[in-house]
């Protein structure tokens, strides 16, 4: 067996190519000329005689030469002549796994000394065959060829690749094949096979370096998150008793991404910001923002700027309903010595303030700063700024001590919301907010128009629009019309969401001096609340959100 057989490009001129093997050197011009004439057998014979190679080694070098020259069809013809199964039989050690560990280890060392280079050439040839088929669009064939490389490695190194004993080129080929195989299955549309290949890559003993393993884990997580195909759970053969077994794609992806995050923290891998972006998406989808907040807190200093960390933590705590904690983080972020003009942070702070009347005045300040920051840059975000400004002003108006102050704040709120609507005329949420503000301002006809406009914009699919319309009609003392709207809304609303509408209908019955009908409606409401409590546990009292 040859101890060194290489194809090299020497010097700056890529046209000067040479084969090296067994201490011999051979220029490729003669071989290339015969290949150009289609004489593969003659080119093979010339190479075998010139470098004292066997059949598989000569074919592997010829195929690599053709692949590097871009002659994919010719490379395939050369590679087709390699019998991988026969090559494996010659390279595979004759010992079995039943031998003592010492004898098995000595046999592996013997294989490393004698046969690894030949194995490297043959396996690289099949890998390049898979790459050629991929480039030619024959993806299923390519995947099967790539899989045959890994199957061959498992037969040759049945106890796992022995690490330091392996030829570098062989290890590189294995790493490339392990990464390529799932990608080929995905490109061929075979997603179950891709999932199985990813799991095989991570569970088998391929002696992969940390970077390669990290790339595979990230690619597998992305596949699980965005492929749209629910993967089968891991087979029982690879499950360890007492270990955590993911139940679905999302759990498995989160597990992989959190493993990568631990590797970043321990310095095993270089920081990759895209991993955190995928983890943010995955944990947000399943509502685990508390876990996400912990991940941000555990990231080493210097990876994220402190302001970016504060802003991300604010988002996490806001999703958890801890608005004051989130607002405190944003106050730090928006301090005059930090980023006082950060548009997104200003809008987030203003929105948090708009949800609590105690902070409404502070929210007005943030919203005005956001509008100034967005001026001439982003019309959509400017519209959002006017919207939260209007909501904050409306909150302030509700807490005003005098009628004059209340009227002034309500007028300013309406002015801001109308400015927002002018910038974003198709925003149904803005239309609804204007309807609410006009109703509170006692401009009932205008409020009625906006309520109808919201129902038209949403196709009547959102309950709050019907409820607003019924409330405005009730405020105009059009009780029968309001009841008709409520009945229509009940017909369009799922049973579990009918509580507020039933409560409104009961009040309308009372206003129409129909106490018996009101009592009957309250009975329906009570039965609904009891059914919800029995099915889902304790729930909010309906009156708390009325």
CA angle 470, 474, 476 (to 5 degrees): 120
Alpha-carbon distance of 292 to 301, in angstroms, equals: 17
Full set of structural domains in the chain with CATH: 209-234+246-304 (no CATH), 455-546 (1.25.40)
Q: Quick check: 379 pLDDT over 60?
A: yes
> Would you state the pLDDT for residue 92?
59
Q: What is the mean pLDDT of the chain?
A: 82
pLDDT band for position 96 (cuts 50, 70, 90): very low
> Would you state the pLDDT for residue 241?
59
* Tens-place pLDDT, residues 208-243: 899 999 999 999 999 999 998 888 877 655 565 556
Alpha-carbon distance of 328 to 292, in angstroms, equals: 18
Distances (CA, A) of 264 to 206, 298, 435: 22, 11, 50
Tell me which range, 151-165, 311-325, 395-409, is most confidently predicted by mean pLDDT.
311-325
DSSP 234: P
* Tens-place pLDDT, residues 8-32: 444 333 344 665 555 455 656 666 7
Q: Quick check: 358 pLDDT over 80?
A: yes
Region 457-473: mean pLDDT is 88
Going 76 to 79 to 83 to 84, the CA torsion angle's sign is: negative
pLDDT band for position 504 (cuts 50, 70, 90): confident
> Would you state the pLDDT for residue 433?
92
Region 460-468: mean pLDDT is 86
pLDDT band for position 542 (cuts 50, 70, 90): very low
Alpha-carbon distance of 387 to 367, in angstroms, equals: 9
pLDDT band for position 254 (cuts 50, 70, 90): very high
CA angle 167, 171, 173 (to 5 degrees): 120
């Amino acid at each position: 067996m040859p101890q060194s057989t290489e194809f090299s490009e020497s010097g700056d001129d890529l046209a000067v190519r040479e084969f090296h093997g067994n201490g011999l050197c051979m220029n490729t011009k003669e071989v290339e000329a015969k290949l150009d004439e289609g004489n593969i057998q003659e080119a093979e014979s010339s190479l075998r005689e010139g470098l004292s190679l066997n059949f598989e080694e000569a074919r592997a070098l010829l195929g690599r030469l053709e692949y590097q020259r871009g002659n994919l069809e010719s490379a395939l013809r050369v590679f087709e002549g390699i019998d991988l199964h026969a090559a494996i039989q010659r390279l595979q050690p004759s010992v079995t796994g039943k031998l003592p560990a010492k004898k098995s280890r000595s046999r592996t060392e013997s294989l490393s000394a004698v046969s690894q280079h030949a194995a490297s050439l043959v396996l690289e040839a099949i890998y390049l065959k898979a790459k050629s088929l991929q480039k030619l669009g024959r993806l299923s064939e390519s995947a099967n060829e790539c899989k045959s490389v890994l199957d061959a490695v498992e037969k040759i190194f049945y106890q796992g690749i022995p690490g330091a004993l392996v030829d570098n080129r062989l290890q590189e080929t294995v790493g490339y094949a392990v990464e390529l195989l799932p990608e080929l299955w995905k490109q061929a549309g075979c997603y179950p096979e891709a999932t199985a290949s990813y799991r095989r890559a991570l569970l088998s003993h391929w002696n992969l370096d940390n970077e390669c393993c990290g790339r595979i884990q990230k690619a597998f997580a992305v596949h699980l998150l965005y492929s749209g195909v629910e993967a089968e759970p891991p087979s029982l053969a690879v499950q360890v008793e007492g270990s955590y077994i993911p139940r679905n794609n999302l759990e498995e992806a989160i597990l992989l991404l959190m493993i990568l995050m631990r590797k970043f923290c321990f310095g095993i891998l270089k920081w990759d910001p895209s991993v955190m972006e995928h983890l943010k998406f995955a944990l947000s989808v399943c509502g685990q923002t508390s876990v996400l907040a912990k991940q941000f807190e555990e990231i080493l200093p210097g990876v994220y700027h402190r302001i970016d960390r504060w802003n991300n933590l604010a988002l996490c705590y806001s999703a958890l309903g801890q608005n004051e904690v989130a607002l405190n983080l944003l106050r730090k972020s928006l301090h005059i010595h930090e980023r006082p003009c950060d548009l997104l942070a200003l809008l987030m702070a203003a929105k948090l303030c708009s949800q609590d009347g105690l902070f409404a005045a502070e929210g007005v300040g943030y919203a005005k700063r956001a509008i100034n920051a967005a001026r001439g840059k982003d019309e959509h975000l400017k519209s959002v700024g006017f919207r939260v400004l209007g909501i904050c002003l409306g909150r302030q108006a509700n807490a005003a001590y005098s009628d004059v102050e209340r009227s002034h704040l309500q007028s300013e709120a309406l002015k801001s919301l109308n400015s927002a609507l002018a910038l974003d005329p198709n925003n149904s949420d803005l239309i609804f907010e204007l309807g609410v503000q006009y109703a509170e301002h006692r401009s009932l006809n205008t409020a009625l128009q906006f309520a109808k406009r919201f129902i038209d914009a949403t196709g009547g699919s959102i309950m709050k629009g019907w409820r607003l319309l019924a409330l405005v009609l009730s405020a105009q003392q059009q009780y029968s019309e309001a009841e008709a709207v409520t009945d229509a809304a009940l017909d369009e609303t799922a049973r579990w969401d009918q509580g507020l509408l039933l409560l409104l209908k009961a009040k309308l019955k009372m206003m129409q001096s129909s106490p018996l009908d009101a009592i009957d409606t309250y009975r329906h409401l009570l039965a609904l609340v009891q059914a919800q409590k029995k099915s889902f546990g304790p729930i909010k009292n309906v009156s708390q959100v009325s």
